[in-house]
């Protein structure tokens, strides 16, 4: 069993998505809390972010928000967080979320979610962390991106075993089960890897 306590969740803050996206986000939050895991997220009271965070709280878990000052000044934060950290910019926000969390789950999202997910994959690839990284593929949302990842490996822009950097879950139950049993088996990139395939 893993020792994961705080899970960083990346997700859309949009309130106008197909309902199943919010349902999966809410179910994930419920399962995290029921399995003694807390949530680190963007601190928003909107979209899938809040669908997940509110359910964590309702089920006895703690939610920790991290929001850049620019968004905070727009009034989209919630006062339901145990702790809300306001950062100067997006870069410092990501660093703080990384610092506070033991694992990462990426739900469906836009450019921000994609950027956050990509950075965490690279951090693990280079050995800066060994965290579980889960992509929750609700409604096949990430199918095209996952195919792109396959193409990256196929054309030698990354090693084939780079697919071991992340886990693709099809359901919230699958995602939480993976977190509960996580053991890092991926070996970080070495100098020799840069010269051999």
Whether 177 shows a pLDDT value over 90: the answer reads: yes
Please indicate, yes or no, if residue 1 is contained in any of the structural domains: no
**C-alpha distance across the termini of the chain, in Å:** 33
Kindly report the CATH number assigned to the domain that includes residue 72: 3.40.50.450
Asked if 53 and 63 count as a contact pair (C-beta separation under 8 A), the reply is: yes
For residue 81, tell me if it sits in a domain.
Answer: yes
Residue 197 has pLDDT above 60, yes or no: no
Question: In this predicted model, what pLDDT tens digit does every residue of 114-126 receive, in sequence order?
Answer: 999 999 999 999 9
Kindly state whether residue 186 falls inside one of the protein's structural domains: no
Task: Establish if 109 belongs to a structural domain.
Answer: yes
Q: What is the pLDDT of residues 2-46, one digit of tens each?
A: 799 999 999 999 999 999 999 999 999 999 999 999 999 999 999
- Return the pLDDT at 184: 86
- Total number of domains constituting the chain: 1
Q: How many CA atoms lie within 13 A of 112 on its CB side?
A: 18
Kindly report the average pLDDT of the chain as a whole number: 94
**Structure confidence by residue, pLDDT tens digits, 50-68:** 999 999 999 999 999 999 9
Q: pLDDT for 93-136, tens place per residue?
A: 999 999 999 999 999 999 999 999 999 999 999 999 999 999 99
Domain of residue 174: give its range.
6-180
**162 lies in some domain:** yes
Residue 116, domain member (yes or no): yes
Q: CA 190 to CA 35: how far, in whole Å?
A: 35
């Amino acid at each position: 069993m893993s020792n994961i306590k705080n899970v960083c969740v990346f997700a859309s803050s949009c309130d106008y998505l197909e309902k199943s996206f919010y349902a999966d986000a809410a179910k994930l939050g419920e399962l995290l809390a029921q399995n003694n895991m807390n949530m680190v997220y963007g601190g928003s009271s909107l979209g899938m972010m809040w669908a997940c965070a509110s359910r964590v709280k309702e089920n006895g878990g703690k939610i920790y928000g991290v929001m850049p000052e620019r968004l905070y000044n727009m009034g989209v934060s919630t006062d339901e967080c145990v702790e809300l950290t306001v950062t100067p910019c997006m870069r410092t926000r990501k660093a703080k979320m990384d610092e506070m969390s033991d694992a990462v789950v990426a739900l469906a999202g836009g450019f921000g979610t994609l950027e956050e997910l990509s950075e965490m994959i690279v951090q693990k690839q280079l050995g800066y962390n060994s965290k579980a990284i889960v992509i929750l593929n609700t409604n096949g949302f990430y199918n095209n991106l996952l195919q792109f990842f396959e193409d990256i490996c196929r054309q030698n822009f990354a090693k084939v075993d780079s697919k071991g950097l992340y886990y693709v879950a099809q359901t919230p139950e699958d995602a939480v089960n993976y977190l509960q049993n996580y053991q890092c088996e991926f070996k970080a990139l070495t100098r020799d890897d840069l010269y051999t395939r």
